[in-house]
Chains A and B, each alone.
Chain A
């Protein structure tokens, strides 16, 4: 600002000067890009997936092969070559990875969070937290390779009948991968529990064990629960580890039967990768089935994210 006309400078309205307008619009466009991204994902998945189903394809002006939406949602056979698109075969495999990884990650993650927030010294925390971050930072394809080459042979000692590709090893690595997510979000929730509550517990003569399990965990329950959902949604969307380790043959397995974890199957994400590494050409039925699976996957993860957000808002104890 030149000092000559200080008077005019001081009273100048800069709110809508070209420079302010230009920079403000740039920043706004950057923020709006995220909305555009979401709209593109939703729009793309819906339009492409609707070209897949017999019911909706005429609306999109697509002639040619289509698949029945009822068969897609209720069928249990996924065979591209014989044009059988039963997504439940894929969903069951995804569900198995989710359940298997949850069995590992949820208890371990919460235990880790309790240890870090209640027991660990500041120095131990400063070492353990970055070490846990590494678990989440290792590329997922590397985890898949670990499961295939090191974990499956180790499991073979215990379960001789285990397949080369199996859900158990995939679930184990996915579980290890999502431990940090459960641990860090739960720990944030536990650290947010005010110290007065703990002190009150100690004042009543409670031990550290009583305070941790009886006061801190119940008070942080909404955060813990939302960390579970977020971590499981990550496990559902996890792609490369299951593609490498879980198998290539779609099969409908009962997720609640422990024996089926020794077999291989094809989760949704792995099926998408498999569809593209095979030679499918753009526009075919197999190509469009990709977007139908994508839509199912997106809807499931979106619902879980929304639930997690709702739980952490709605049931948060306000202090």
Chain B
């Protein structure tokens, strides 16, 4: 604020210039938009380099314009003017299908290529048996002392998964040695279709408030998955892929769309938008094929997604890095979620107000500010040098990244836990519940969506991290998928770094790197959109 303005108050009382305010306002808006617009321009450039839409025939563009863009614009425009909630529903269904299709690719990598389906099944059975025992034990909660129950559950899991060497095999081993082994697609249908059936069944039972409907929905989900695996090969689709894509992407989307069609009468017209988009894409694809128009010669193609690094940019692919990123994410999530939530619960629900608690508090916010490269040094020094682990494995990488995002998980989980109204805790204590019972039955279920959102966002940070992986000695080039926790791991950002600095050449700069960047950003976008949908749902419920 300058002295000019102040003196003008005295001189011309009541006279206010609008110019300064208007200029200021647009300056602020310009500043706000600067970063966003710059990034948008850069993204357009990189997408253009990676997907190369201009290499397609004019006919290809025209066909899709007529079959996809025009109908979508018409239906979307109508809905935007008449029924915005329906538009949101339609967008949600389309987004859900896109995101789930992406994830079904990841699931296929994990359950077909990394873990052979039979091994996967053996571990599922090995976990289900002791889990069933735990459920039975919980029924007799009052008769058996707590310590005995915990010991029995722990022993059951260990016996089932490890067995007693020399006396009897672990359950996974027994399953693997079965004389008659079902085909891979049957196992996938059983396991993934089974999970989809349970989820869909519970969802339908909840929204219809009808257990029979839930059972029917679950059964049809399972049948649909099996059907896809059987029919798939006749249409030229691999049976395993058909089973995975159906159970992970199609069945949940169908269930959501179907549920919305039945329960939300005002908005179900929005499903028309989803139908137009999906139908338009299919019709366009068939028409382009029939008319012989060539599509864009994108660098992000099937070959790029399914092959390993190569000396030439045209043949280079991201496959081992994608698999590595998935395994790293699984490890990071498994480590950071319980530890982060546990720390948050302690600090919010248990911690006495003393110096040590305050120290932990300050310490966590400082840890959040430590550069990622220093966490890499921590991984290198502690895990590799002092604990003698081999460099660059999935386990080391996952543990280092987990430590890196732990402060973020803790901070966001604490916010979610703090948002639980204290009346609910008091009510629980008033009913005679102990602290742990209150945490388990009231605080955690209530805070869960917020915790989940924070964890997904933190995982999004971890998936883009490169420096810690370099520090722990992850290889720059990896030609095969990591299959175990102790195999060497690469990751998508690491591969992008290797291409853009170690294999620096015009060829890699214009082909492989933009393609890698687009895939990495697509995965990040999918994860963040899930987190944002969860957050919006959570906020609208409160």
Contacts and interface: CB of A to CB of B under 8 A. Distances in A.
Partners in one complex: yes
Interface residues of B, number: 96
B432 A1 contact: yes
A17 interface: yes
B520 to A, nearest CB: 6
Contacts of B445: none
Contacts of A243: 467, 497, 501
Given A112-B28, A240-B467, A37 B496 contact: no
A33 B460 contact: no
Given A27-B350, A31-B347, 6 more contacts: A31-B360, A112-B28, A139-B464, A145-B46, A273-B373, A294-B373
Lowest 4 A-B CB distances belong to which pairs? A237-B371, A139-B464, A30-B342, A111-B31
Interface in B363-379: 363-367, 369-378
Interface in A270-285: 272-273, 276-277, 282
Contact of A37 (B385, B406, B521): B406
B500 A273 contact: no
Interface size class of A (residues with CB under 8 A): 35 or more
Interface stretch (B292-300, B314-322, B470-478): B470-478
Interface of A: 1-2, 9-10, 14, 17-20, 22-24, 26-35, 37-38, 40-41, 44-45, 48, 107-108, 111-112, 114-116, 119-120, 128, 130-132, 134-135, 137-142, 144-146, 148-151, 176, 179-180, 183, 205, 207-210, 212-214, 230, 233-234, 236-240, 243-244, 269, 272-273, 276-277, 282, 290-291, 294, 297-298, 301-302, 304-306, 309
A37 B346 CA distance: 17
A19 B31 contact: no
B513 A145 contact: yes
- Most chain B CB neighbours (cut-off 10 Å) among A14, A48, A139, A208: A139
A210 B500 contact: no
A111 B25 CA distance: 10
Given A20-B434, A31-B360, A240 B410 contact: no
SS class of chain A's interface: helix, strand, loop or mixed? helix
B195 interface: no
14 contacts: A18-B145, A19-B146, A34-B410, A37-B403, A38-B366, A108-B31, A139-B463, A140-B464, A141-B500, A176-B39, A183-B32, A209-B20, A239-B466, A276-B473
Contacts of A213: 1, 24
Nearest to B27: A111
Contact of B35 (A24, A130, A132, A291): A132
B234 interface: no
B373 A31 contact: no
Nearest to B49: A149
SS class of chain B's interface: helix, strand, loop or mixed? helix
Contact of A139 (B359, B466, B532): B466
- Most chain A CB neighbours (cut-off 10 Å) among B363, B476, B496, B497: B497
B328 to A, nearest CB: 14
Contact of B371 (A14, A131, A208, A269): A269
Given A115-B28, A209-B20, A305 B385 contact: no
Contacts of B378: 37, 40-41, 44
Nearest to B346: A27
B372 A239 contact: yes
Interface in B351-398: 351, 359-360, 362-367, 369-378, 380-382, 384-385
A137 B513 CA distance: 19
B237 interface: no
B432 to A, nearest CB: 7
A22 B381 contact: no
A300 to B, nearest CB: 9
B519 to A, nearest CB: 11
Contact of B436 (A20, A131, A304): A20
A115 B31 contact: yes
Contacts of A205: 9, 14, 16
Contacts of B473: 276
Given A18-B147, A139-B493, A149 B470 contact: no
B371 A297 contact: yes
B528 A142 contact: no
Nearest to B21: A209
A134 to B, nearest CB: 7
A301 B370 contact: yes
A62 B382 CA distance: 19
A131 B375 CA distance: 28
A23 B461 CA distance: 29
A176 B43 CA distance: 14
Contacts of B45: 150
A38 B31 contact: no
Contacts of A134: 36, 39, 528
- Most chain B CB neighbours (cut-off 10 Å) among A27, A108, A114, A291: A27
A273 B469 CA distance: 10
Contact of A244 (B31, B46, B500): B500
B502 interface: yes
A30 B347 CA distance: 10
Contacts of B464: 137-142
Nearest to B375: A41
A48 B31 CA distance: 44
Contacts of B410: 34
B509 interface: yes
A116 to B, nearest CB: 7
A168 to B, nearest CB: 14
Contacts of A45: 374, 377
B366 A208 contact: no
A31 B343 contact: yes
Contact of B501 (A142, A180, A244): A244
Contacts of A236: 371
Interface string B445-475: 0000000000000001101111100110100
Nearest to B339: A30
B28 A111 contact: yes
Contacts of B406: 33-34, 37
A38 B367 CA distance: 7
A135 B381 contact: no
A33 B377 contact: no
B38 interface: yes
